[in-house]
Amino acid sequence: MLEAAGLSGDEEAVYRLLVAVESATPDDAAGRTGLNPDYVERVLSALERKGLVNRVGREPLAFAASPPDVALLPRLKRQTDALDQARAAMSDLADIYRGARRRRDAGQLIEVITGAETLRRHLRQLQSGARHEMLWFCKAQYVAMPSGSNTDEYRALARGVRYRVLYERAFFEEPGAVANVVQGVRAGEVARAVPQLPLRMAIVDRSLAICPLVSGGPHGSEEEVTVAILRGSSLLDALIALFERNWEDGVPLRVSASGEVTGTEGVGVDEPLTAGDQHLLSLLVAGVSDKAIASQLQLSRRTVQRRVQHLMSLTGAANRMQLAWQAARRGLI
């Protein structure tokens, strides 16, 4: 059982004996373990070099065990560190191997799978193997995983994987969707909302993307879903860029103490802005003070503040800085 600490079976047997007694001579250890006396002396010498036993007498020569926590824990830590380094080196080598294969074989770049169950299995495997970050496009009307069924996310979040998730507005209209987003955000998910998403997609560690090519029927119907798994390539880079571009436009979702999600209402500006609102926004973006805005628009400061709050509600901005940023991003001025 102590092979991980660098002990052979016989070394462990002799060390266990010495842990249980105050001390023992080589002959005593040989008699109690059933090993050859000359061989036991060599085993004791090996244990002494490893710092697991100490000599406690000369006439007759006897040995005592070092405390297990002092003697074994540092050895186990070194073994664990070495194993982690070997695992990281293996992962790097695997990446190099796959990269070399992809350059020689275009078929390594794109894998096509079919079926909702196959898609669910791949999504679970990919999340279980994620090391750093998961990026998600969540559209309304699932095709494989109903909202709230992705328990692998919580396990990945618990081990330190970062989740950035973009939801489209229609997603929140589905039963139970808001409650599931609340649970994800509270578990550590970073979420934003946009009016609409172009496709469903998950990206793992920026090295692999999975997205349906033919979605099949909505809500997990029996129609076949056809999915592409994309590995390191210009196409994968384009999907990562697509995610980041939509992420910039997304409205951050926040969960209140009462469990309400804020930010879903302002992912689009359906109400047209008046010329006055556009003028106010342009002044706000330029950094003009409320007092100066009120003077230019011939309004009271209270009216200016009330209209700013209304614009923040329309755009889903949490503060004036976000309002200015959203206004510039969405071409509202």
Residue 204 pLDDT level (bands cut at 50, 70, 90): very high
Q: What is the dihedral of CA 242, 244, 236, 225, to 10 degrees?
A: -60
Is there a single domain that holds both residue 253 and residue 123?
yes
Instruction: Answer with the residue of higher pLDDT: 197 or 216.
Output: 197
Is there a single domain that holds both residue 83 and residue 114?
no
Is there a single domain that holds both residue 236 and residue 287?
no
Domain boundaries, position 17: 1-106
| Residue 268 resides in a domain | no
Q: Which two tokens stand for residue 128?
A: 């279980």
Is there a single domain that holds both residue 31 and residue 149?
no
pLDDT by residue (tens digit) across 264-309? 554 455 556 787 888 888 777 767 788 888 887 888 999 988 888 8
Q: Which two tokens stand for residue 149?
A: 């069924």
Is there a single domain that holds both residue 68 and residue 160?
no
On the question of pLDDT at 38 being above 70, the answer is yes
On the question of pLDDT at 228 being above 80, the answer is yes
Among the listed ranges 189-198, 245-254, 282-291, which one has the minimum average pLDDT value? 282-291
On the question of pLDDT at 8 being above 90, the answer is no
On the question of pLDDT at 66 being above 50, the answer is yes
**Residue bearing tokens 């578990």:** 187
| Residue 307 resides in a domain | yes
| Cβ contact 176:147 at 8 Å | yes
| Count of other CB atoms within 10 angstroms of residue 46 | 16
CATH code of the domain containing 254:
3.30.870.10
On the question of pLDDT at 141 being above 70, the answer is yes
- Contacts of residue 76, defined as CB under 8 A and 6 or more positions apart, other chains included, come to 4, 5
On the question of pLDDT at 215 being above 70, the answer is no
On the question of pLDDT at 216 being above 60, the answer is no
- Contacts of residue 238, defined as CB under 8 A and 6 or more positions apart, other chains included, come to none
| Residue 269 resides in a domain | no
CATH code of the domain containing 296:
1.10.10.10
Q: 9-13, 102-106, 252-256 — which one is most confidently predicted on average? A: 9-13
Is there a single domain that holds both residue 98 and residue 13?
yes
| Residue 285 resides in a domain | yes
What is the total count of domains within the chain? 3
Chain centroid to CA 167: how far? 17
| Residue 267 resides in a domain | no
Is there a single domain that holds both residue 124 and residue 178?
yes
Is there a single domain that holds both residue 71 and residue 115?
no
Q: What is the pLDDT of residue 222?
A: 45
pLDDT by residue (tens digit) across 72-118? 888 778 878 887 888 888 877 777 776 666 555 666 678 888 888 88
Q: What is the pLDDT of residue 33?
A: 87
| Residue 270 resides in a domain | no
Instruction: Answer with the residue of higher pLDDT: 58 or 53.
Output: 53
Average confidence (pLDDT) over 230-242: 89
On the question of pLDDT at 212 being above 80, the answer is yes
Domain boundary, last residue among 262, 291, 313: 262
Is there a single domain that holds both residue 137 and residue 203?
yes
| Residue 174 resides in a domain | yes
- 38-46, long-range: CB within 8 Å, 24+ apart, which pairs? 39/10, 40/14, 43/10, 43/11, 43/14, 44/14, 46/11
Is there a single domain that holds both residue 129 and residue 231?
yes
On the question of pLDDT at 226 being above 50, the answer is yes
**Share above pLDDT 70 across residues of the chain, in percent, rounded to a whole number:** 85
Is there a single domain that holds both residue 118 and residue 86?
no
| Residue 229 resides in a domain | yes
Average confidence (pLDDT) over 35-54: 88
Rounded distance, CA 211 to CA 202, Å? 7
Among the listed ranges 52-66, 95-109, 133-147, which one has the minimum average pLDDT value? 95-109
Is there a single domain that holds both residue 120 and residue 164?
yes
As a whole number, the mean pLDDT across the chain is: 81
